[in-house]
Structure 1
Amino acid sequence: MRTLIFKYLEGSATDSEKAELLQWLRKKENRIVFHSYKLEWRKGLKNGQITVGGEESWNRLQEKLWQKSYNRWQESLKTQQFFRYAAIFFFALSIGTAVWHFSGQSSRNIQETTTSVIAENGQISKIELPDGSLVWLNSGSRISYNNFYAEQNRQVELSGEAYFDVAKNAELPLVVNCNDLYVRVLGTKFNVAAYSWEESIDVVLEEGTVELVNPVAKTTFSEMESGQRAQFSKENSALQVNDVNTSRFTAWKEGMINIYDQPLKDVVKRLEIRYNQEFIYDKEIEDFRYTFTIENERLEEIIRVMEQITPVKAIQQNDVIELKIDEEKMRKVDR
């Protein structure tokens, strides 16, 4: 495999050889072997052993193979299950910074590219990042990172909710960018909920320690300990930290959602991304509060529970479910 890997790195591998390499790299142990050969190849570059036009060929090949690898990997993982667990390995990104070593040139000569993984409504995705860290991406969420990840940085941008099982690297902390808040870790297990429509960013720490950092001042708001939940207000930057049962906030990885004292407007958002169903509702009921657990229940069962808890009724309008005040129930309450 050494010869094929060197041909790939030099840009001289055929399409069939690239396909063979892509298939081989899907196994984690093979990517470790690939990395060792990559280092050997780099040493050769430092000694001036570089083919004519090699740098131009490498830049061209990097972009081409990144897209081809992504497309092939995605196609091979399509499924009709309600929860789609996608293990995505962008091996081209893990070797992307090899160009940095060409003729002593700096990384500013490499064009930055971004990889984004999206869990559509009604889906959960499981992702392995180039450094071996695992990420569970909840429905309606997106995570992004650039082609320098695991080489020069471990920075990811998150919109939505994700659970992280971070590979340890004392020299390169992993940083989760939630716009209003950065979460910085070395190696740990934690959950971040940073949906754009929510008023706060939620961080729940299962193992290890994490730092909550002000993205503007670069100062630390707080250092969390295992078993804690931090709620960061987007409006005034207020931070509240308390001890919790972490499983209540991470059970969504197994398909369970815990609704705890949440207003109807937030519950509806959860239902929309869980069931891929559009809702509308009257403003007068948006603050009705709910506490219940969703596991394998159908949407109509959840709506029935909401109608029992509060004086609301659901009406199907084409593809949209409308939630309205139930006047008859309200009259009974007022008696």
Structure 2
Amino acid sequence: MERNDLIRKWLTGELSPEESDAFEALEEASFYKEIISDAAAFSAPDLAEGGNSTDLGNLLSGRRTPERKRNWIRPMMRVASALLLGVALYYFLFQQELVRVETGVGEKTAITLPDASSVTLNALTEIAYNKADWDKRRHVQLEGEAFFDVAKGARFDVESPLGSVSVLGTEFNVRQRGRVFEVRCFEGQVKVVSGSHELVLGAGENFRISDGGVSSGKNTYAHPQWTNNISDFQRVPVAEVFAELERQYKVKVTLEEVSSGQLFTGGFTHENLELALKSITEPLGLEYSKRINNEVRVKPREH
């Protein structure tokens, strides 16, 4: 029996002897019992010990507050304790169903969501979704970059710190790195909302916000190249390119007398650091040197 079903039957006193043993074996069983115990012990304080100013005045003058005027307090406190219990159990029964998946430096992974939609995560990316609530709401939280192949069905939402994407079933890529938010649509249509910007992208179109600047255009490829271990860029500041290099390789890049806003169009492989560095530096007239502790220094090429 599922954990949530065991807990619900325990709350309603419907556990069989075998199910009771299974409940007792749950790691969090003692915690749930403690919540119930605390709620049961919770009672309204006597107004003679801590009431309002009117009650205190009555005590000082020797008068007692009529019993009928304080009868409502204890039922209300019981309601409050029941609400407190409900909120606590809701959190531990349902919020624990939040599934998180994350990748490290140079790591990619692919997962399948409950509706058979697939997500491929790029390096240093995290997504989260509520498995228990998925049938009611297809919603994913994203930080980093991921490619989505969404199964047909109800609306599918991807939320990031800088914007959201909504679809009914399509293929698209979402990239959120620092102050950069980029969406590329590869199939169907997607709705993009970021601040005051709201638009619909068709297949082959992209939308990008970087440090407040907004741009849109056409995709160069029919599929995100990073899923093939290649990072590609279209007129992107070189600082952002090197930041992606750091995510794919365990290196720290230091720019010396290089304008971080210099634009770069091209790409680099995720499988060979030397080749990747050459792919970035040579077109821009730069050179690099590798130092100890995985440090790479980049500066203008000497003539």
Per the alignment, residue 178 of structure 1 pairs with 160
Per the alignment, residue 211 of structure 1 pairs with 191
Q: What is the identity, as a one-letter code, of the residue corresponding to 1:222?
A: L
Normalised TM-score (structure 2): 0.66
Per the alignment, residue 278 of structure 1 pairs with 252
Contact 1:9 1:58 survives alignment (8 Å): no
Change in 2 beyond 3 A, CA 1:305/1:192: closer
Is it true that 1:195 corresponds to 2:170 in the alignment? no
Give the superposition deviation at 1:204.
0.9
Per the alignment, residue 57 of structure 2 pairs with none
2:212 equivalent among 218, 235, 242: 235
Q: What is the identity, as a one-letter code, of the residue corresponding to 1:186?
A: L
Aligned to 2:152, what secondary structure does the other structure show? Answer: coil
Q: What is the identity, as a one-letter code, of the residue corresponding to 1:294?
A: F
Per the alignment, residue 15 of structure 2 pairs with 51
Per the alignment, residue 323 of structure 1 pairs with 298
Per the alignment, residue 55 of structure 2 pairs with none
Aligned to 1:140, what secondary structure does the other structure show? Answer: coil
Q: Percent identity?
A: 23
Change in 2 beyond 3 A, CA 1:297/1:233: closer
Gaps of 5+ in 2: 30-84
Q: What is the identity, as a one-letter code, of the residue corresponding to 2:151?
A: A
Q: Deviations over 1:34-61 (max 9, x none)?
A: xxxxxxxx9xx8xx99426979976984
Contact 1:204 1:246 survives alignment (8 Å): no
- How does 1:13-162 map onto structure 2 within 5 Å? 50-51=14-15, 61=26, 109-111=89-91, 112-113=95-96, 114-162=98-146
Contact 1:209 1:224 survives alignment (8 Å): yes
* Aligned pairs, number: 240
Q: Deviations over 1:86-112 (max 9, x none)?
A: xxxxxxxxxxxxxxxxxxx98984221
Change in 2 beyond 3 A, CA 1:260/1:117: same
The structure in which a higher percent of residues are strand is 2
Change in 2 beyond 3 A, CA 1:250/1:128: same
Distance 2:99 2:24 in 1: 17
Distance 2:135 2:21 in 1: 21
Distance 2:2 2:244 in 1: 49
Q: Deviations over 1:134-156 (max 9, x none)?
A: 00000121111234441332221
1:163 equivalent among 147, 163, 168: 147
Is it true that 1:294 corresponds to 2:268 in the alignment? yes
Change in 2 beyond 3 A, CA 1:225/1:151: same
Per the alignment, residue 268 of structure 1 pairs with 242
Give the superposition deviation at 1:266.
1.2
Distance 2:242 2:87 in 1: 46
Distance 2:173 2:183 in 1: 6
Change in 2 beyond 3 A, CA 1:280/1:224: same
Change in 2 beyond 3 A, CA 1:52/1:272: same
Contact 1:285 1:325 survives alignment (8 Å): no
Per the alignment, residue 282 of structure 2 pairs with 308
Contact 2:114 2:131 survives alignment (8 Å): no
Contact 2:101 2:127 survives alignment (8 Å): yes
Per the alignment, residue 230 of structure 2 pairs with 256
Contact 1:285 1:324 survives alignment (8 Å): no
Gaps of 5+ in 1: 1-5, 13-41, 65-104, 330-335
Change in 2 beyond 3 A, CA 1:307/1:224: closer
Q: Deviations over 1:101-136 (max 9, x none)?
A: xxxx98984221332211111111101122221000
Distance 1:174 1:277 in 2: 36
Distance 1:243 1:62 in 2: 52
Aligned to 2:258, what secondary structure does the other structure show? Answer: helix
Q: Deviations over 1:232-285 (max 9, x none)?
A: 35527x4x44333442x6121121222333332111111111122221112533
Change in 2 beyond 3 A, CA 1:306/1:144: same
Aligned to 2:244, what secondary structure does the other structure show? Answer: helix
Q: Deviations over 1:204-246 (max 9, x none)?
A: 111122111357x8xx81122222111235527x4x4433344
Larger Rg: 2
Distance 1:230 1:141 in 2: 20
